[in-house]
Amino acid sequence: MTTKEKQEAISKRLGEIYPQLRINAKKICTYNFPQWGEDLIAHSIESFLKMDLDKQYRIMVADDAGEHYITRGMAISLKSVTSTFYRVHRRDLYNSRELLEINYEKPIDGPDPAKEKVECIAKAVKLLKFYDKYLITKHYYEGVNVAELGRQLGIQPARLTSDIKIALLKIKKLCR
């Protein structure tokens, strides 16, 4: 069988099982299907199609196990925090937090709460000890990344990240 014939057979079989893959993805994602269900299906099919063509053909056509194989891959990708799918689609939802919640709407009259919080942060930075103040100033105000800061100071980037987080917690505590 030629390469083109194998690809056509695989594409035909994928078209046949696609409706069932959507149903399986809804069961796997449950109530989160609207958030990342379509991305999960696309990611799983793309991962399958990156495999060796002979292996794709064996799974999809010869063994008729394509639906099970891709569904199992979807379940593993969704639940594993080390999967490519998690890194690309889900991690940002869990790691996006702001230092302070700021209402950016301009008040009609009276004090501006966003301006007050920014001023509080500036005062809190000035009250920090020298090392914490230096890290916050360099990293956030001057935009020096942690790796470059680590090279300048001779400190491991992981340690600097930890120290920056501790300094941010101190600022947050001062601005409550």
pLDDT of residue 12: 95
Fold that domain 113-174 belongs to in CATH: Arc Repressor Mutant, subunit A (1.10.10)
**Where in the sequence of the chain do the CATH 1.10.10.10 domains occur?**
113-174
User: Mean pLDDT for the chain?
Assistant: 86
Distance CA 131, CA 164 (A): 10
Distance CA 15, CA 63 (A): 17
Range with the lowest mean pLDDT among 67-81, 90-104, 111-125?
A: 90-104
Give pLDDT tens digits for 111-170: 666 778 888 888 999 999 999 999 999 988 888 888 899 999 999 989 989 999 999 999
Beta strands in the chain (DSSP E): none
- Is 130 exposed, middle or buried, given 0-12, 13-18 or 19+ CB atoms closer than 10 A? exposed
List CB contacts of 163: < 8 A, sequence separation 6 or more.
131, 132, 135
Give pLDDT tens digits for 11-38: 999 999 999 999 999 999 888 888 888 9
